[in-house]
Amino acid sequence: MNIDKSMIGKILRKMRLDNNFSQRELAEKLFVTQTTLSDWERAYRQPTFDSIAKIAYYCDYTISFTNNKTGEVITTENIVRKDL
């Protein structure tokens, strides 16, 4: 599977813009620099899953994974530690 490494950055930028956050505003909420957020959006650096989850939270998105065979959906909101 070939994954476009810039896709995460494009998604992060879309979430931020859909919520009318400047890079500075969202970076402050995440306790990172504006440069770090910019680097993530431009795919110069890759954010951790924790950082992606925080951005999703502040931008009112949910991260989900769908099993293509069963249709089961796991989200960051419905998974519990004992399931792992």
Residue extents of the structural domains in the chain: 7-83
Core vs surface per residue 31-46: b (16+ CB within 10 A) or e = ebeeebbbbbbeeeee
Q: What are the average pLDDT values for consecutive 10-residue runs of the chain, which has 84 residues? A: 83 97 98 98 95 95 93 81 51
DSSP state of 83: G
**Per-residue model confidence (pLDDT) at position 78:** 76
Q: What is the pTM of this model?
A: 0.83
| CATH 1.10.260.40, applies to 7-83 | yes
